[in-house]
Amino acid sequence: MARKVLVLGEVRDGSLRNVSFEAIGAAKLAAEGGEIVGVLVGEGVNALGAELIEYGADRVVTVEDEKLKQYTSDGFSQALLAVVESENPEGIFMGHTALGKDLAPRIASKLNSGLVSDVTSIEEAGGNLVFTRPIYSGKAFEKKIVTDGLVFATIRPNNIEPLAKDESRSGEVSSLTIEIKDLRAIIKDVVRKASEGVDLSEAKVIVAGGRGVKSEEGFEPLQELAKVLGGAVGASRGACDADYCDYSLQIGQTGKVVTPDLYIACGISGAIQHLAGMSNSKIIVAINKDPEANIFKVADYGIVGDLFEVVPMLTEEFKKLKVNA
């Protein structure tokens, strides 16, 4: 059944996050030949509409207001609900990010709709769309089928491939004007304490450190390796608790959930809480002095050795590969 599907494009620091394009790819599967309508909410977002179209949206609707400069659930829900009322879609897709996890349940409640969250794959079976999502901290997966009503889902980053960018595509970018009112909270300024470089939640390569890095300086070899690989640096809860790094780098059940193409775990024992945040990575490489460390049970490749010897060796070898490439 052909469906009109809305896809919320998520903007950070004036640019679209990659999960926005992945959500379009997911929506394309769900639309089954129907129309994909991109939605942009914020201030000064109109110029980004063309990029959503290049990645597969048929047209884009923007809602701009100075009150939407920073995300608030009140403001963004008013804007998105206005677009839903105007477009009357059969589906809504967005990223399973901090924004999506806050906004999607609110919108679903207002629309009296179901919601399939944290989707990692979509397939068609027997005329129905089947959504796969992890449960029990990633130890199992369940399949959901939407049999009636709105198809509403949030997409886990780095799991569904975006469509190839096509700069020749064209489509209408229109604006919807609404009054944003009765905001219970207004964000005046945002002070971020986060690492520079690649966004951890969307990184294709992550080099993560645990208590085995021993100190804040112990992360320096990991940062160098991540830089060579074009990746991001992450950490276990233990490393964060020991003040080796900031909690913005934490990966695990109480931190970020990541699914990179390559995850290199350095000095991480493999506590179940940490595995919940990274065990679905496509390739896992573990470096640990303890051959009995739990991390080796989920690793595709294991290196038993001192990370302060192994990581610099890996860095030098990858540098040689880049030079000879």
Which residues are annotated binding-site positions?
Answer: 211, 236-237, 250-254, 267-274, 288
Q: Distance between CA 255 and CA 236 in Å, rounded? A: 9
* Residue 106: count of CB within 10 angstroms of its CB: 15
**Binding site membership for FAD: which residues?**
211, 236-237, 250-254, 267-274, 288
Residues 234/223, Cβ–Cβ less than 8 Å: no
Q: DSSP class of residue 138?
A: T
Please give the full DSSP string across 254-296, using - where no structure is assigned. TSB----SEEEEES----HHHHHHHTT-SEEEEEES-TT-GGG
Q: Which two tokens mark 46?
A: 């109109």
Q: What is the dihedral of CA 141, 142, 143, 147, to 10 degrees?
A: -160
Question: Three-state SS for 232?
Answer: strand
Angle between helix axes 307-324 and 220-229 (nearest 10 degrees) is 20
